[in-house]
Amino acid sequence: MQHSSIYRMRVKKNIRMTPAGCADTVILLALEPVYGETLRPFKPGQFVRIGIPRLNEPAPGFFAIASCPEHPDSYEFFVKHAGPLSAYLCDINEGTELEVEGPLGKGFDLSPFKGADVYLVGVGTGIAPLRTVWQEIIHHREDFGKVSIYAGFLTEMHQLITEELEELSRHHIEVSIILEIGHDSWDGPIGYVQHALEADAPDSTHAVACLAGMSAMVDACTETLQNLGFDESRILLNH
Ligand SMILES: Cc1cc2nc3c(=O)[nH]c(=O)nc-3n(C[C@H](O)[C@H](O)[C@H](O)COP(=O)(O)OP(=O)(O)OC[C@H]3O[C@@H](n4cnc5c(N)ncnc54)[C@H](O)[C@@H]3O)c2cc1C
């Protein structure tokens, strides 16, 4: 089983991340190896394909791994209820088995960028593959210069892992949260992540950026970063 490209994993945790009053559901889903198997290693930014055993519909879908790449005991994912497969996953019980293929994709390879400043830019569940990058950076913090995260969410209720993001200052990692729709007590930036990047105008001289999110966001951020002097080789995507 371990050597087959599609194998079984079991649901370890299904925790709702968005509050009950939020119109959108995002869960933290953790999958652990079935008895006798070991977790396949992964690189920051990689994803897997998850399917429902013995079913072709809903079709399997891709989900970015959000766990710490050093000594993980499970794969964690942020899954947004968006259609039939994600609806099934958002309702799944602990102990249920799923079919998994991967880890897949090139991930975010920062090894050629030792000493560089790092910008991690993502929206919504796009924060998942970036989480594996910042957790890796924390273990090798001295290898990088300034590290900044730009995380965009629709509203305050859509924010994910708020406490974890707040605590990153202990590792000298700056975090900017951008809400598309603000509220009375919100004094942070409002709008899209690319506008926050534009406003801060990071120095591109010795810098690399990792982008994760829907394609419109990735395209807009790529254009903004190029205008700031980042060439293509220093704007990384994980797939
Ligand atoms: C490389 C890769 C990594 C991905 N990682 C994640 C992840 O970490 N978490 C995750 O929830 N999804 C992720 N997705 C999307 C995921 O694979 C599915 O497309 C998603 O779960 C919807 O599938 P579905 O079958 O439930 O619904 P579908 O019927 O396939 O989709 C329903 C609608 O929702 C839109 N949609 C899909 N996903 C999202 C989303 N996250 N936010 C807003 N709109 C969306 C689709 O464009 C479509 O219009 C990733 C996709 C790719 C290609």
The predicted pLDDT at position 52 comes to: 97
Determine whether the shortest distance from the Cβ of 122 to ligand 1 is under 6 A.
no
Using CA atoms, how far apart are residues 145 and 206, in angstroms rounded to an integer? 9
**Secondary structure of 142-159 in the HEC alphabet?**
HHCCCEEEEEEECCHHHC
The predicted pLDDT at position 56 comes to: 86
Which band of pLDDT confidence, cut at 50, 70 and 90, is reported for residue 1? Answer: very low
Q: What token pair was written down for 32?
A: 């652990």
Residues 132 and 65 sit within 8 Å (Cβ to Cβ) = yes
- Kindly give the interhelix angle for 193-200 and 215-227, rounded to the nearest 10 degrees: 10
Residues 15 and 28 sit within 8 Å (Cβ to Cβ) = yes
Residues 117 and 210 sit within 8 Å (Cβ to Cβ) = no
The predicted pLDDT at position 149 comes to: 98
What CATH number is given for 6-104 in this structure?
A: 2.40.30.10
**Residue 3 pLDDT more than 60?**
no
> In CATH, which of 3.40.50.80, 3.60.150.10, 1.10.3720.10, 3.40.50.360 is domain 111-236?
3.40.50.80
In the chain, % of residues over pLDDT 90: 93
Domain ranges of the chain: 6-104, 111-236
Determine whether the shortest distance from the Cβ of 85 to ligand 1 is under 6 A.
yes
Determine whether the shortest distance from the Cβ of 82 to ligand 1 is under 6 A.
yes
The predicted pLDDT at position 71 comes to: 76
Could you read off the pLDDT of 128-161 as tens digits, one per residue? 999 999 999 999 999 999 999 999 999 999 999 9
**Residue 197 pLDDT more than 60?**
yes
Whole-number mean pLDDT of the chain?
95
Tell me how far the alpha carbon of residue 202 lies from the centroid of ligand 1, in angstroms.
Answer: 30
Using CA atoms, how far apart are residues 115 and 196, in angstroms rounded to an integer? 24
**Residue 69 pLDDT more than 80?**
no
